[in-house]
């Protein structure tokens, strides 16, 4: 599946993708400030889905950022304290579906930006992104 914004509702695509999770979601994004996506993440967590999020350390303090809210709900979050910015935008559901693209998980991406998303079940792509997530998870710092 492919989605483009602003003409498509990419936030709906993300929410539908996350809602399919039965066991696990790994999210690696620059920031999350779209409240509807945040609500979907919390709903998944509350029904027992194991969720891990990696994000950029600076973005947790941005006005409208939902990162601290998600951490307050008990979701495992790590931040990039390296000299680099965490600028990935991908998520893996149940180790069998991958969502990736340029789309930031923000309100402005939905309304004002030319963005793209792709969802794939390609096992090789999923394996590569899962390895990247696991390597980053080891390097990142727990949100405090």
Q: Which residues are catalytic?
A: 87, 89, 94
Instruction: List Cβ neighbours of 83 (8 Å cut-off, separation of 6 or more).
Output: none
Closest CA to 61 of 76, 71, 50, 46: 71
Nearest to 33 by CA among 141, 110, 143, 113: 110
**How far, CA to CA in Å, does 5 sit from each of 102, 103, 104, 113, 141?**
10, 8, 11, 7, 32
């Amino acid at each position: 599946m492919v989605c483009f914004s602003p003409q498509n509702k990419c936030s709906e695509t993300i929410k539908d993708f996350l809602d399919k999770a039965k066991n696990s979601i790994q999210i690696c994004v620059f920031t999350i400030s779209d409240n509807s996506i945040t609500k979907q993440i919390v709903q998944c967590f509350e029904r027992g889905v194991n969720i891990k999020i990696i994000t950029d350390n600076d973005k947790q303090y941005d006005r409208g950022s939902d990162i601290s809210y998600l951490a307050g709900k008990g979701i495992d979050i790590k931040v990039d304290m390296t000299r680099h910015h965490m600028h990935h935008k991908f998520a893996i559901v149940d180790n069998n579906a991958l969502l990736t693209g340029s789309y930031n998980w923000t309100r402005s991406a939905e309304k004002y930006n030319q963005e793209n998303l792709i969802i794939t079940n390609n096992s090789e792509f999923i394996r590569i992104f899962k390895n990247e997530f696991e390597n980053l998870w080891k390097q990142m710092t727990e949100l405090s």
